[in-house]
Structures are given as structure tokens and as C-alpha cells.
């Protein structure tokens, strides 16, 4: 089967668009790796109790995962990914800055919940964009490569941040000042990289309320017809339930 000139041009454009994906993956994971592993310890050092740590864990998880459904469907209807990635990542990264000035655990928990809520718009759009740009036969390899470089960026940042904090010393705000600034800068930079990717504009008129409602009902209906998927959801739900008992106590145990 011969490939037309138009198809070749489209394939070349998609391959060129993969470079910003790798760059964004490394820089963004470096941003999150600078601070994310230390937020629990930060809350504990600010005086968080076991109950506060429960709110810390549950509020960020709930706001992040719940809103991904909305942002994912909105991205599908608009047929655009880049605006969600750029705005979501920029907002998430900018919210590292106010965390320098928090004085108690409650303020930190509220900021992290808001960050997860608004930053969640980038996650489903990012996954969908990879699927849009990478041919299905190369999707597994591309995902593995992107995840590998993401892990490299995250581990490098966490090691650098830990060494930096040990060498600085002082109050918890002073210790985290530079990592938070670096995290904000790298996160915003990673979102701007995505502006190099070109997307086709969608001229369709949206009926957001109707589409979101029908899509959710279709997902539920389809899940009921897939016993193996339901069984997987039950097992994962049980695991997450019992893991949630210990999650809030990890940071407290580390600090003590």
C-alpha cells in the first residue's frame, strides 16, 4: 500500500512533534521531583496532625482524580490538547510560589488541593496527545521512552533537592525556598515548550452539558458489560482503601 505525499507530510509533522514531548516530560518531571517528595514532610514540620495528613492525602487525590473526568471530556469535545497542558501545567507550577509563605499545615493543604484541582486539566490531555501523535504500532515504545526520561528527570531533581536542602539548613521555609522556585520555573518552562506543537482547530459547536452527561452514562453502561474490568476495579479499590489507612502516617513516621 503506497503512502501519499499528504500522508508522508502528516507523519513527518507528527514525528517532529515528538521532540517537545520528550523535552516537556523531562523538564516537568524535574519540576515535580524537586518538591513533590517533600510536601508530606513539609506539612508535618508545619505541625500537621494525623487527621491533617488524612486531609492532605485525600483532598489532593480527590480533587485531582475527580476533575480529570471533566477536563478529559472537555478536551475531547474541543479536540484540543495543548491549551489544557499549557494552562494546567502553568497554574500548577505557579502555585509552588505561595507555598514558600505558608505558616501552618492547613494553608499548605488548601494550596495543594487547589493545585491538584486546577493542574488536573493537564493529565488527561497529555495522555491523549501522546495517543494522537504516536502511531499505534509505536505507542508502547514511545510511552516507555517518555516514562523513562520522566523518571530520570524526577530522580535527578529529588537527589539534587535533597542535597541542596541539607546544605542550606535553617527553617523549613528557608530549606524549601530554592526547590520551590526551581520547581515553579521548570514547570512553567515545560508548558511553554508545548507551544511548538501545532494542532488542528475544531470548528464544531459544543453542547458541553449534553455531551458530558451522555459520555458518563456510556462509560457506566459499558463497564457493566465488562466483568473483567469491573473485577479489576473492585480489586484496585480494595487495595487503595487499605493503603489509604497508612498513607497519611508515612510522612509523620519519617519525621519522627
- Going by pLDDT thresholds of 50, 70 and 90, the confidence category of residue 1 is very low
Q: Specify the higher pLDDT residue, 65 or 173.
A: 173
User: What is the percent of the chain with per-residue pLDDT over 90, rounded to a whole number?
Assistant: 25
State the CB neighbour count (10 A cutoff) for residue 209. 8
Nearest-angstrom CA–CA distance, 44 and 64: 22
Q: Specify the higher pLDDT residue, 243 or 100.
A: 100
Of 89-103, 142-156, 175-189, 218-232, give the lowest mean pLDDT range.
218-232
Q: Is the dihedral of CA 238, 105, 62, 115 positive or negative?
A: negative
Q: Is the dihedral of CA 27, 114, 161, 53 positive or negative?
A: negative
Nearest-angstrom CA–CA distance, 189 and 23: 10
Strand, helix or coil for residue 1: coil
The average confidence (pLDDT) of the chain is 81
Counting every residue written for the chain, the total comes to 256
Q: Specify the higher pLDDT residue, 12 or 163.
A: 163
Say which residue the cell 525556598 belongs to.
Answer: 177
Helical spans, DSSP H, in the chain: 5-35, 39-45, 50-78, 82-94, 105-119, 122-133, 139-168, 172-193, 208-224, 227-255
Q: Is the pTM of this model over 0.85?
A: no
Q: How deeply is 194 buried, as exposed, middle or buried, from its count of CB atoms within 10 A (0-12, 13-18, 19+)?
A: buried
Nearest-angstrom CA–CA distance, 8 and 21: 20
The CATH number of the domain covering residues in 15-255: 1.20.1250.20
Nearest-angstrom CA–CA distance, 250 and 243: 11
Residue 168 predicted with pLDDT over 80:
yes
Helical spans, DSSP H, in 36-49: 39-45
By the 8 A CB rule, do 121 and 87 touch? yes
Nearest-angstrom CA–CA distance, 225 and 104: 48
Of 43-47, 72-76, 121-125, 223-227, give the lowest mean pLDDT range.
223-227
Check residue 61 and give its pLDDT.
Answer: 75
Amino acid at each position: 500500500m503506497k503512502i501519499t505525499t499528504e500522508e508522508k507530510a502528516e507523519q513527518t509533522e507528527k514525528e517532529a512533534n515528538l521532540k517537545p514531548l520528550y523535552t516537556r516530560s523531562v523538564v516537568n518531571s524535574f519540576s515535580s521531583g524537586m518538591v513533590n517528595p517533600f510536601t508530606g514532610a513539609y506539612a508535618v514540620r508545619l505541625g500537621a496532625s494525623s487527621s491533617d495528613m488524612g486531609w492532605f492525602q485525600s483532598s489532593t487525590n480527590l480533587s485531582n482524580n475527580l476533575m480529570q473526568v471533566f477536563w478529559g471530556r472537555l478536551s475531547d469535545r474541543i479536540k484540543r490538547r495543548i491549551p489544557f497542558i499549557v494552562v494546567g501545567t502553568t497554574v500548577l507550577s505557579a502555585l509552588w510560589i505561595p507555598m514558600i509563605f505558608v505558616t501552618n499545615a492547613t494553608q499548605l493543604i488548601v494550596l495543594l488541593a487547589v493545585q491538584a484541582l486546577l493542574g488536573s486539566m493537564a493529565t488527561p490531555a497529555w495522555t491523549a496527545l501522546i495517543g494522537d501523535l504516536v502511531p499505534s504500532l509505536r505507542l508502547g515504545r514511545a510511552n516507555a521512552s517518555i516514562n523513562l526520561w520522566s523518571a530520570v528527570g524526577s530522580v535527578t531533581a529529588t537527589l539534587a533537592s535533597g542535597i541542596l536542602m541539607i546544605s542550606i539548613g535553617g527553617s523549613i521555609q528557608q530549606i524549601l525556598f530554592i526547590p520551590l522556585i526551581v520547581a515553579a520555573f521548570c514547570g512553567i518552562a515545560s508548558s511553554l515548550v508545548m507551544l511548538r506543537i501545532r494542532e488542528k482547530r475544531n470548528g464544531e459547536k459544543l453542547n458541553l452539558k449534553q455531551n458530558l452527561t451522555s459520555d458518563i452514562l456510556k462509560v457506566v453502561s459499558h463497564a457493566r458489560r465488562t466483568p473483567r474490568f469491573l473485577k479489576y476495579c473492585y480489586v484496585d479499590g480494595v487495595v487503595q482503601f487499605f493503603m489509604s489507612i497508612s498513607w497519611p502516617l508515612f510522612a509523620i513516621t519519617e519525621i519522627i
